[in-house]
Amino acid sequence: MTLYLWDASVFWSAVEVRGGEDCWPWLAGRLSIGYGSLRRHGRAYLAHRRAYELTFGPIPSGLTIDHRCHNAATGCPGGVACLHRRCVNPSHLDAVPLAENIRRSGLHGAGAANAAKTHCRSGHALTVDNVMSTPDRRTCKACAKRRRDAHRQRTEVVRT
Do 139 and 87 share a domain, yes or no? no
In the chain, the number of structural domains is 2
The helix/strand/coil state of 44 is: strand
Same domain, 44 and 107: yes
Query: Is the pTM here over 0.85, yes or no?
Result: no
Q: 80 and 17, same structural domain?
A: yes
Least confident of 21-25, 36-40, 49-53, 156-160: 156-160
Indicate if 112 and 144 belong to the same structural domain: no
From 81, 97, 116, give the residue that closes a domain: 116
135, 63: one domain: no
The parent domain of residue 23 ranges over 1-116
Same domain, 71 and 40: yes
Question: Among 98, 129, 124, which Cα is nearest to 111's?
Answer: 98
Same domain membership, residue 48 and residue 21? yes
Give dist(CA 52, CA 58) in Å, integer: 8
Tell me the per-residue pLDDT of 10-32, one tens digit each, with 9 for 90 and over.
Answer: 899 999 998 878 999 999 989 88
Instruction: Say if residue 110 is in the same domain as residue 124.
Output: no
Q: Within this chain, do residues 126 and 88 fall inside the same structural domain, yes or no? A: no
CA distance 139 to 113: 15
In terms of domains, do 57 and 108 share one?
yes
One domain for residues 95 and 151: no
Read off the DSSP letter of residue 119: B
User: CATH number of the domain that 106 lies in?
Assistant: 3.90.75
Q: Considering only CA atoms, which of 2, 53, 63, 9 is closest in space to residue 29?
A: 2
pLDDT, tens digit (0-9, with 9 covering 90-100), for 123-157: 999 888 898 876 567 889 999 999 999 999 888 76
Alpha-carbon gap, residue 105 to 74, rounded angstroms: 10
- Domain match, 124 and 103 both: no
Residues 6 or more apart whose Cβ sits within 8 Å of residue 27: 14, 15, 16
pLDDT on residue 2? 46
